[in-house]
């Protein structure tokens, strides 16, 4: 039986609820708590873009920012209901790395002179509920949910990389690092015992993602 190391703090269920409430407020309204990694676009000169291109790239980055808000909610919901401490730790580390993505997208949005989606609180709430439900279903299904989510995000990032002008190196560097992280998160979840989700669930996830991306592009 695994015992906590001496001096390790043990959190009660109420502690976890309060911690997640704090993280939700930081995700939606505050400054994201990032890891030690720096923005991959730091030091790169901004490209000259036409008004139409700048507006389109900004909207794509707004979609990516909303996607990272959803990722935070999913991971936090899963960590809250994960049954094994090892699974919770994996979820929490991945969530911190997704926080890097959130911060990078937010910074790029400011540089492009645009705003975050007005519907982020709604998407956060829905994603948190989905993550918590996945966690309650069991760790192998929760990890499988991570695998499928990251695969769909990878496809989504590939699509955005095709649309962003080649000369916009700042946006491209951010998305390429995000893609590399998503691939690694999926690999970690698979190695930890994640199960492949049933086809109807994968289809429902794709439909939900499509609604989110199209809505966040405009609102």
Residue pLDDT, tens place only, 62-71: 999 999 999 8
Residue 215's region, left for phi above 0, alpha for psi from -120 to 50, else beta, is: alpha
For the chain, what is the mean pLDDT? 86
- pLDDT mean over 106-126: 94
Q: Supply the pTM of this predicted model.
A: 0.85
Say what angle helices 139-163 and 85-111 make with each other, to 10 degrees. Answer: 20
Would you state the pLDDT for residue 5?
A: 44
More confident residue, 93 or 53: 53
CB-count burial class (<10 Å; 0-12, 13-18, 19+) for 90: buried
Residue whose C-alpha is closest to residue 176's, from 156, 157, 159, 151: 157
CATH of domain 13-26+47-218: 1.20.1260.10
pLDDT, residue 64, reads 95
Residue 79 has pLDDT above 60, yes or no: yes
Gap between the Cα atoms of 49 and 165, Å rounded: 9
pLDDT in the model for residue 3: 47
Closest to 35 in 3D by CA, of 104, 85, 89: 104
- DSSP letter at 1 equals -
Find how far residue 13's CA is from the centre of its chain. 24
CB atoms within 10 A of CB 35: 12
Check residue 74 and give its pLDDT: 86
Residue 9: the pLDDT is 59
- Angstrom distance (rounded) from CA 144 to CA 78: 11
Higher pLDDT, 188 or 162: 162
Does the structure show a pLDDT above 80 at 207?
yes
Neighbours of 46 (CB within 10 A): 14
Average pLDDT over residues 111-128: 93
Q: Are 146 and 78 within 8 A, CB to CB?
A: yes
Q: What is the mean pLDDT of residues 36-40?
A: 88
Least confident of 30-34, 114-118, 157-161: 30-34
pLDDT score of 159 = 96
Distances 217 to 58, 59, 128, 204 between C-alpha atoms, Å: 9, 5, 21, 20
Q: Is the dihedral of CA 107, 112, 114, 116 positive or negative?
A: negative
């Amino acid at each position: 039986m695994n015992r906590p190391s001496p001096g390790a703090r043990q959190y009660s269920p109420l502690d976890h609820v309060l911690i997640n409430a704090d993280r939700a407020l930081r995700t939606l309204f505050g400054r994201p708590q990032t890891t030690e990694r720096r923005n991959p676009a730091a030091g790169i000169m901004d490209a000259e873009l036409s008004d139409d291109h700048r507006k389109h790239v900004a909207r794509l980055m707004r979609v990516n920012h909303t996607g990272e808000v959803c990722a935070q909610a999913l991971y936090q919901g899963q960590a809250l209901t994960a049954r094994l401490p090892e699974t919770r730790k994996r979820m929490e580390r991945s969530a911190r790395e997704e926080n890097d993505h959130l911060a990078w997208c937010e910074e790029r949005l400011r540089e492009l002179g645009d705003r975050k989606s007005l519907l982020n609180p709604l998407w956060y709430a829905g994603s948190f509920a989905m993550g918590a439900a996945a966690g309650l279903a069991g760790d192998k299904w929760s990890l499988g949910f991570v695998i499928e989510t990251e695969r769909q995000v990878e496809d989504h990032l590939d699509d955005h990389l095709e649309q962003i002008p080649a000369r916009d190196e700042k946006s491209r560097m951010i998305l390429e690092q995000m893609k590399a992280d998503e691939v690694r998160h999926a690999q970690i979840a698979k190695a930890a015992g994640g199960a492949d989700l049933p086809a109807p669930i994968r289809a429902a996830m794709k439909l939900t993602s499509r609604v989110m991306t199209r809505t966040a592009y405009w609102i």
